[in-house]
Amino acid sequence: MLFLLLDEEQGVDQTPSIDLNRRMLWVDENTGKISEANDILMDMVDHLDEMDTHIVKGETDGKDPVIAARRSREPVSKGRILRGVWKDGRPMRQGSKNPWIDFDELQKDAKEIRKKNASKRRAEAEAKKAAEAKPKKKRSSFDEDDQPTPPPLPAHLQILKEDRDRRKNEKFVVKQKKKRAFTAG
């Protein structure tokens, strides 16, 4: 503000006498008014946020998961955050001139808490679902001695089985030869 009062052409040394005390008094008087205006704006931002989530309701709001999630969240005063104060009264991080930086951190923390709660709810739901699920019927176990022998294969399938067994045995022999050559060499 001081630079606005000074004339750029005259420079600092050649400025006409400025009554700084009078200007400082003016700033002190108006600081209170600006603070009151900011308080009113803070309340207005909070009321608009509340109106957006809780008062204005449409016919399809129950089907919209985003709106349902917003309504179930704990309300956070966005006006206080914009003023540089968290909901628990602590000031924002020192040196932070952009309240959205701290707001993003708060959102990340809230997101992590929501993830933990969601995973906990998911685990509880799965446990409940598992408890409600009917146990599967177990097959009665028979001893192998009690089992009858299978019927013989028809002739055309017996030929295919013998051919498959022969190829399987040849592959096994080739693998054994390669293994011996690898270990010997």
Tens digit of each residue's pLDDT (9 = 90 or more) over 54-109: 777 788 877 888 888 887 887 777 787 777 776 666 666 655 556 666 667 777 88
Distance (Å, whole) CA 89 – CA 71: 23
Residue 110 counted as domain residue = yes
- Give whole-number Cα distances, 107 to 16, 89, 99, 113, in Å: 51, 17, 12, 10
pLDDT greater than 80 at residue 9? no
Q: Does some domain include residue 137?
A: no
Final residue in a domain of this structure, among 74, 101, 116: 74
**112 dihedral zone (left: phi>0; alpha: psi -120 to 50; beta):** alpha
Question: Tens digit of pLDDT for each residue in 105-149?
Answer: 777 888 888 888 888 888 888 888 887 776 655 555 555 667 788
Q: Is residue 47 part of a domain?
A: yes
User: Does the residue 136 lie in any domain?
Assistant: no
Co-location of 102 and 68 in the same domain = no
pLDDT band at 166, cuts 50/70/90? very high
Q: Is residue 173 one of the residues assigned to a domain?
A: no
User: When comparing pLDDT for 66 and 53, which is higher?
Assistant: 66
| Total number of domains in the chain | 2
Q: Which of 83, 112, 131 is the last residue of a domain?
A: 131
Flag whether 154 is in a domain: no
- Is residue 153 in some structural domain? no
Is residue 149 domain-resident? no
15 has pLDDT over 80? no
- Averaged pLDDT, 144-170: 87
pLDDT for 153 beyond 60: yes
Q: Are residues 23 and 66 in the same domain?
A: yes
Q: Provide the pLDDT for residue 101.
A: 65
24 in the same domain as 67: yes
* Co-location of 23 and 63 in the same domain: yes
pLDDT at residue number 135: 62
Question: Are residue 67 and residue 100 in the same domain, yes or no?
Answer: no
The whole domain housing 125 covers 92-131
